[in-house]
Chains A and B, each alone.
Chain A
């Protein structure tokens, strides 16, 4: 079991460029989440999904879009990157809404 994997691990973007972060889990979990971590702020929920084909907004959704076309994958898109989106992005999954979340290793994104 690989658990939760994230691609890529690092990325540098110029302002206005777009990119997609991929999260994959092999635990057959229904729920998946995207967080961002900024210094002194802890982790903040961007978007989440309660099952294949569903998505919902979290605490800080502006500037991001997500898709869950397959149960095992959760994609986070940045259509027009801004320096304020420089952060470390974590994906997580859980079997149910009341269970512990399992996190991926993170993607460090820098927008210049």
Chain B
């Protein structure tokens, strides 16, 4: 049972435009959400996070939106740059003790010049 789902395996966006990556979850106990970015042959790197007490968190070009009633979160990147081309994973946890992250399948984002 996939508790965190990223239904788009890939996304292609033109440079300078907005990239929107989506993520859905099923477990209502999740209360902390993260986005990680992964380049080939490297480990994931943390991008941005959001707690369930918020509905938006912004960090530079990256904004994460959380809709708890719909159990949906999204990552907005604006403007998109070629260096943003990577695989993006969303992850969720119920913050209790060790942060056991549950990851989505990932979305490969390609930014076209």
B95 proximity list for chain A (CB < 8 A): 97-98
Q: Which residues of B contact A58 (CB under 8 A)?
A: 100
Interface bits A65-98 vs B (CB < 8 Å: 1, else 0): 0000000000000000000000000101010111
- Range class of the B interface residue count: 20 to 34
CA distance A85 to B6 in the complex (A): 24
Partner of B41, one of A92, A103, A106: A106
Quick check: which of B13-21, B62-70, B76-84, B103-111 contacts chain A, the rest being far away?
B103-111
* B44 near A48: Cβ-Cβ < 8 Å: no
Given contacts A4-B43, A42-B105, A103-B45, contact A98 B99 (CB under 8 A): yes
B53 within 8 A of A: no
Q: Write the A15-52 contact mask toward B (1 if CB under 8 angstroms, else 0).
A: 00000000000000001010100001111110010100
CB contacts (< 8 Å) of A8 on chain B: these are: none
State the Cβ distance, B13 to closest chain A Cβ, in Å: 22
* Number of chain A interface residues as a range: 20 to 34
- Among candidates B32, B99, B102, B105, residue contacting A94 with C-beta atoms closer than 8 Å: B99
Give chain B residues whose Cβ lies under 8 Å from the Cβ of A31: 98-99
**Residue from B34, B89, B97, B99 having most chain A Cβ neighbours under 10 A:** B99
Is the CB–CB distance between A43 and B45 below 8 Å?
no
List which B22-46 residues lie within 8 A (CB) of chain A: 32, 34, 36, 41-46
A98 CA / B103 CA spacing, docked (Å) = 16
CB distance from A12 to the nearest CB of B (A): 17
A42 touches B4 (CB 8 A): yes
A92–B93 Cα gap in the complex (Å)? Answer: 15
Q: How far is the CA of A11 from the CA of B65 in the complex (A)?
A: 40
Give bound CA distance, A44 to B4, whole Å: 11
In whole angstroms, how far apart are the Cα atoms of A103 and B41 in the complex?
Answer: 12
Please list 19 pairs of residues, one from A and one from B, whose beta carbons are closer than 8 Å in the complex, sorted by A's number.
A4-B43, A31-B99, A40-B9, A40-B105, A42-B104, A42-B106, A43-B91, A45-B101, A48-B98, A59-B102, A92-B43, A97-B97, A97-B98, A98-B32, A98-B99, A100-B46, A101-B46, A103-B43, A105-B43
